[in-house]
A and B are shown apart, each in its own frame.
Chain A
Amino acid sequence: MEILMILTGGIIITVAVYLLMTRSILRVVFGIIMLSHGVHLLILTLAGLEEGAPPLLTENADAYTDPLPQALILTAIVISFGVTAFLLVLAYQTNKAHDSDDLEELRGNADE
């Protein structure tokens, strides 16, 4: 199970990194969303997927899955939501200011 999840996570991250290097600003935002998906999956997997009940004491089980990475990822999901919302607005405001969503055209710095 772990190997399968690790490979899935790796492929998601590969695609995410590819998207980060594309020209369209929206694709870059999508890349970031994908990156966090991949990372979440990996964190959960690396903590171990041994059989065990969900981390609810009401289950009265002998073993539970590790609650700590789950708490971490829950936080991360919400944060990445906030960041993505911010990035989206940043993206469309950039587009509005420069009338382009093409990062090749948007390049340039004040010094030049």
Chain B
Amino acid sequence: MSLFHFVVLAPFLMAVILPFFYYKFRSIHTGWFLLPLPLVLFLYIATYIPFGGGGMEPVIYSVPWVPSLGIDFTVYIDGLSLLFGLLITGIGTLVVLYSIYYIANKQDEPLQNFYVYLLMFMGAMLGVVFSDNLIVLYVFWELTSLSSSLLIAYWFHKEKSRYGAQKSMLITVSGGFAMLAGFAMLYVIAGSTFSIQEMISQAGTMVQDPLILPAMLLVLAGAFTKSAQFPFHIWLPDAMEAPTPVSAYLHSATMVKAGIYLVARTTPIFGLTQQWFWILVIFGLVTLTWGSISAVRQTDLKGILAFSTVSQLGLIMSLLGMASAALHFEYVDQDTMYVTAAMAAVFHLINHATFKGSLFMAVGIIDHETGTRDVRLLGGLMTIMPVTFTISLIGLAAMAGLPPFNGFLSKELFFTASLNAASFDIFNLQTLGFIIPVFAWIASVFTFVYSMMMFLRTFTGAFKPDNYEKHVHEAPWGLLISPIVLGSLVILFGLFPNMLAYTIIEPAMQSILPGLTSVGDQFYVNIYHWHGINAELLMTIGVVLFGLAVALTLPKLYGAGFFQRERDPLNAVYDTGLDQLVVQSQNITKAQMTGRLRDYMLYMGVFIAGLGLFTLFRYDALAISLEGQGGIPIYVWLVTGVLLACTLALPFVSGRMTNLILLGAVGFLIALLFVILRAPDLALTQLLVETVMVVLILLSFRHLPEMTKESKRLLSTSAKAVVSIAVGTFVTLTALSVHAYRSGADITPISDYFVENSKTLAGGYNMVNVILVDFRGLDTLLEVLVLGVAALGIVTMIKLRMRGGEDV
């Protein structure tokens, strides 16, 4: 265990002790106890940043977990995981601080739940990004889905929260399952290793395998559901029912980027295929466009941000797709032609986290202070909440892609990358490539439009105090600190983007595109505002002009049908699918669950006999050995004969007393057989048990009526007879085969050990008893425990009467 393992484990350990703080110091907000943890983790992870600018050496620490299955808890620290680790802990710190003021420490507010879920998420997310082992990654991955769903349902008394939580859980977890199958395929292709780095080192041979395509699709199913890519994005808008700190943290800055992370991480493996490029680019662009258009018609501020997040995730996804093309080219010094996409993806990832985080927090403040997030009610907040207004303005300008903010820089890079991609001479890009910049431009127009609308409808116009339930004023400073920090970063990264160049961006690019530069060399990263008048700048100017025109004409169209249908049309598919799933499962269950014990026994009998007999004959296991069967004494024949006569008579007699006598006879005859078979202990036990049992049955006769007459219908009787004879035949044949095998092979019974040692090791002469009380003492102990439980069950059943009419 290295110290870094504890970075991943620390949130979980903290989650264990946090509830004690909550109950012990009820008057102090629980968030304060938690706050130092992400901060310390952030600072610790930050020590791994290559401040010298000399590139980053990946660090690897490994602890065996299930070595026999190749599962190790390996932390792998390189540029990509470092970037995500910083995002998770950095934004985490700000979000915790924000939440302290956002969620009041009220009597009925289960703060301990909130922070335990949040810590669980933080640990799981760190686990996802720092694990090198796919199975460990998967475990943490599902844990993020779980904690996300718990956080969405934090206010579980609200119907919509529960709906959103269930939806996000179902979609992301089913994607996760698909991904697990993909991982299993990768394991097979890579020749029995779950380590991502080992897979990357043999990526060239792996892509030759025919399984690579299904594996890729399955892994992408996981990544796309998590990162809300079209058509799986529908869970994200409903996840906005979560408290706003959660939305800012999970549903914009970190968790939804897990899919991005996975795609970036596996690019060196899958990126060598043409399908990877096209799937990512097409899904990314469709998501980008669909998200930005959908965002325009939202009236809920968080709804706008949710769809905006969807669209921005699509942008990064398409950039990663374009970035994979670089793997097919040589990297020449300072030629950024092919690697711009990777650079843009990493840079935009950081920028999106900063501006979207600050916007979510600003919206949270508006919601907190006014009591509504509906843009139709809001308006004129500019003068009433000046700080919030400024933060939002910076965030919105960055989101719309206006200089001098960081959003402008990454949007320019995005345009450059898309124009570059259109000119590559692979994958039919010469003919089809033009759609990339076209879609990029259309989506950017709508991005500009919804940013403008959000600004205009919230902050400008007339302030109408009647629309609000409470007195509206600026938020307390505690709420403002976190968005201010993020807003400052937006400006800082906008003005001095190159402070990130060789500390964060270049190491992350090395992880996405390993092996392109020779060892020790670095990609050339230089981001600046003014490139001269080129295609990108003209595109941006077009976006601004066209976007302004649309944004200003839109208010006249609010009545149109487009704005009436706020919900995504794809939701219908999910809702009907879920309903049908429940209905159909119920139908299937009802068809077989007749509530009749006989039918269940029949199923079991048919299944056991069918499967058993099939296996016996299919694998030719049937064998009968008649050796050494002679010389059976006459008294054995006699005992067995009477035993069988009693047994066979059982189904045909009707009186319960006759039944009991026959049953008792069978029991005592079995005891006699035990004597013949030289098992004195068994014979004694059987005799005594049979005696006590007869008393028991007689006693219970007092409470039971005479047995119901069996139905005489031929069909049911013969069905029962056929099934029972089939089961009996199967048992007999199996036993005969076992016997034949046993007498054929030379097997030393394991009981020789007991025969030899019962005197020396246990000091007893009765081997059966020695096994019971000494060699297998624990079994006996648990057995008497079962007996005790059965007796207690009897007492409870009789003493605590069931009320009649109740379904029992």
Direct contact of A and B (CB under 8 A): yes
A-to-B contact residues, CB < 8 Å? 1-28, 30, 33-34, 37-38, 40-42, 44-49, 52-58, 64-68, 70-71, 73-75, 77-79, 81-86, 88-98, 100-104, 107-112
- Nearest-CB residue, chain B, relative to A55: B767
B-to-A contact residues, CB < 8 Å? 586, 590, 593-598, 601-602, 605, 626, 629, 632, 636, 640, 643-644, 647-648, 650-651, 656, 659, 663, 666-667, 670, 673-674, 677-682, 685-686, 689, 692-693, 696-697, 700, 703-705, 707-708, 710-711, 720-721, 723-725, 727-729, 731-732, 735-736, 738-739, 742, 749-751, 754-755, 758-759, 765-768, 771-772, 776, 779-780, 783, 786-787, 790-791, 793-794, 797-798, 802-808
Assuming the A-B contacts A95-B705, A97-B802, A107-B595, are A88 and B700 also in contact, with contact meaning beta carbons closer than 8 angstroms in the complex?
yes
CA separation between A16 and B604, bound complex, in Å?
14
Name 18 A/B residue pairs within 8 A (Cβ), A-sorted: A4-B632, A9-B735, A11-B647, A11-B648, A13-B731, A17-B727, A20-B601, A22-B651, A28-B597, A34-B647, A56-B766, A70-B681, A71-B767, A71-B771, A77-B686, A89-B798, A97-B808, A109-B807
Q: Is the CB of B754 within 8 A of A67?
A: yes
- Sorted nearest first, the 5 A-B pairs with minimum C-beta distance are A14-B728, A10-B732, A67-B767, A107-B595, A82-B790
Assuming the A-B contacts A17-B723, A81-B689, A107-B595, are A57 and B751 also in contact, with contact meaning beta carbons closer than 8 angstroms in the complex?
no
Assuming the A-B contacts A22-B720, A46-B742, are A101 and B626 also in contact, with contact meaning beta carbons closer than 8 angstroms in the complex?
no
Interfacial chain A residues near B643, Cβ < 8 Å: 8
Interfacial chain A residues near B739, Cβ < 8 Å: 2-3, 6, 45-46
Interfacial chain B residues near A58, Cβ < 8 Å: 765
Cβ 8 A contact of B663, one of A33, A94, A104:
A33
Interfacial chain A residues near B590, Cβ < 8 Å: 111-112
Cβ 8 A contact of A18, one of B651, B738, B780:
B651
Interfacial chain B residues near A30, Cβ < 8 Å: 650, 659, 663
Cβ 8 A contact of B783, one of A12, A78, A84, A102:
A78
- Nearest-CB residue, chain A, relative to B719: A21
Q: Is the CB of B685 within 8 A of A54?
A: no
Main secondary structure of the interface of A (DSSP, over half): helix
Interfacial chain B residues near A81, Cβ < 8 Å: 689, 692-693
Interfacial chain A residues near B667, Cβ < 8 Å: 33, 37
- Nearest-CB residue, chain B, relative to A12: B647
Q: Is the CB of A1 within 8 A of B636?
A: yes
For the A-B complex with A57-B766, A88-B697 known, give 6 more contacts whose Cβ atoms are closer than 8 Å. Answer: A2-B629, A8-B640, A45-B739, A64-B767, A71-B776, A77-B682
- Nearest-CB residue, chain B, relative to A58: B765
CA separation between A11 and B790, bound complex, in Å?
29
CA separation between A84 and B430, bound complex, in Å?
79
CA separation between A73 and B670, bound complex, in Å?
12
CA separation between A6 and B644, bound complex, in Å?
12
Q: Is the CB of A77 within 8 A of B735?
A: no
Interfacial chain B residues near A7, Cβ < 8 Å: 732
Interfacial chain A residues near B707, Cβ < 8 Å: 24, 26-27, 101
Interfacial chain B residues near A75, Cβ < 8 Å: 772, 779-780, 783
Assuming the A-B contacts A85-B696, A101-B704, A109-B595, are A71 and B766 also in contact, with contact meaning beta carbons closer than 8 angstroms in the complex?
no
Assuming the A-B contacts A21-B605, A68-B771, A104-B596, are A88 and B759 also in contact, with contact meaning beta carbons closer than 8 angstroms in the complex?
no
Assuming the A-B contacts A18-B720, A26-B707, are A52 and B678 also in contact, with contact meaning beta carbons closer than 8 angstroms in the complex?
yes
CA separation between A95 and B702, bound complex, in Å?
12
Q: Is the CB of A6 within 8 A of B597?
A: no
Assuming the A-B contacts A67-B771, A97-B802, are A1 and B629 also in contact, with contact meaning beta carbons closer than 8 angstroms in the complex?
yes
Cβ 8 A contact of B626, one of A3, A52, A96:
A3
Interfacial chain B residues near A64, Cβ < 8 Å: 755, 767
Q: Is the CB of A46 within 8 A of B735?
A: yes
Interfacial chain B residues near A71, Cβ < 8 Å: 767-768, 771-772, 776
Q: Is the CB of A3 within 8 A of B720?
A: no
Q: Is the CB of A91 within 8 A of B700?
A: yes
Cβ 8 A contact of B723, one of A19, A21, A77:
A21
Q: Is the CB of B727 within 8 A of A13?
A: yes
Interfacial chain B residues near A65, Cβ < 8 Å: 677-679
CA separation between A83 and B735, bound complex, in Å?
25
- Nearest-CB residue, chain B, relative to A43: B735
B53 smallest CB distance to A (angstroms)? 68
Cβ 8 A contact of B650, one of A5, A19, A108:
A19
Cβ 8 A contact of B768, one of A8, A46, A55, A100:
A55
Q: Is the CB of A15 within 8 A of B651?
A: yes
A22 smallest CB distance to B (angstroms)? 6
Q: Is the CB of B749 within 8 A of A34?
A: no
